[in-house]
Amino acid sequence: MTDNVLKRGLRKGVRTARSWLAETPPAQTDFSQDRFAYGQLNALVEEIATELGSLQRPHYTWGMAHGAYLAKHLAIERISVIELGVAGGNGLVALDRAAGRVEASLGVAIDIYGFDSGAGLPKPEGYRDLPNLWSGGDFPMDQKRLQQRLQRGELILGLVEETIPAFLKTRPAPIAFISWDLDLYSSTMHAFPLLRTDSDLLLPRIQCYFDDILGFTFAEFNGERLAIAEFNEAQPMRKISPIHGARFYVPRRYSNAIWVEKLYMAHILEHPRYGEYDGLVRRPRMDLA
């Protein structure tokens, strides 16, 4: 009898310990003593995810938050955030909704831009555009409906080879985050003037998300992967690189999410501010609240 009672007590203790270990730790609010900035930024991503629910896209919030955090430490008051390939508009709306929350948290103003033809994909030009996956006219937009959903985002319609040069002539705030979702190799190549422009229109490091690089028939010799490789080969001091091991640095619940493998960073190596302190690794006795 005594042995049975003891066993039941042990089993109950084990269940209690397992339950405690499985619980989410209490939300942290004071990050001033953290060695790295990831805790603060991940908490912001999680808060926005909770607030926006089905409207949120954590990979967009991650890129925007990291871009704004860098701008804050460089004393840059306003940044530009861009989605290339808007289609139905859910991604642009997600950026639109999250921007105010990031602004309030980090104190950096955010301009949102969405680039799209408005009429669906252009016709693929050859094997590099993956015509086995895409066709001309795919992903059309209901422009009127999307405009009604936007609060601050600006929709820029037309072919990117025409709209991006015109956009850059307006001298927008420094670009901090770009979502590349143009699908085609050719369209992605046409959008690279965004990363070849004057350094004062860019942060020294730009968060990037490349949507079409995993699975299906994406390869090093077609699509976005080929475009990235050709950009890197042509630009001796501007490079696009994956964020290696990103799954260890995003919020824990996203560590196995597919989007984490699509996080990249554009390095503007000759940028006059590339080597300035960016706050990711926190220095002792420095106020980074």
Domains, the chain, in order of start with CATH, read 32-268 (3.40.50.150)
pLDDT in tens, 216-273: 999 999 999 999 999 999 999 999 999 999 999 999 999 999 999 999 999 999 999 9
pLDDT in tens, 62-112: 999 999 999 999 999 999 999 999 999 999 999 999 999 999 999 999 999
The alpha carbon of 174 is separated from its chain's Cα centroid by a whole number of angstroms, namely 16
In the predicted structure, residue 147 carries a pLDDT above the cut 90: yes
Q: How remote is the C-alpha of 225 from its chain's centroid?
A: 17
Q: Which residues contact 187 (CB under 8 A, 6 or more apart)?
A: 85, 121, 122, 160
**pLDDT-based confidence at residue 17 (cuts at 50, 70, 90):** very low
Q: At what angle do helices 58-73 and 38-52 cross, to 10 degrees?
A: 140
- The band of 33, judged by pLDDT with boundaries at 50, 70 and 90, is confident
Average per-residue pLDDT for the chain: 91
Q: Quote helix, strand, coil % in the chain, to nearest 5.
A: 45, 15, 40
Give the pLDDT band (50/70/90) at residue 5.
Answer: very low
Cβ contacts of 70 within 8 Å, gap of 6 or more: 176, 203, 204, 205, 278, 279
3-state secondary structure of 19: helix
> Which one is predicted more confidently, 84 or 33?
84
Question: Can you give the pLDDT at residue 18?
Answer: 39
* pLDDT of amino acid 135: 97
At 19 the pLDDT is: 39
Backbone angles phi, psi at 17, to 5 degrees: -65, -45
Share of the chain above pLDDT 70, in %: 88
Check residue 288 and give its pLDDT.
45
- What are φ and ψ of residue 79, in 5° steps? -130, 165
**What residues are paired with 267 via a beta bridge?**
205, 239
User: What pLDDT shows up at residue 31?
Assistant: 82
φ and ψ at 46, to 5 degrees? -65, -40
> Among 83-87, 147-151, 176-180, 285-289, whose mean pLDDT is lowest?
285-289
Element (H, E) at 228: helix 223-234
| pLDDT for res 9 | 47
- At 283 the pLDDT is 80
The model's confidence at residue 212, banded by pLDDT at 50, 70 and 90, is very high
Section 104-130 average pLDDT: 97
pLDDT for the residue 27: 60
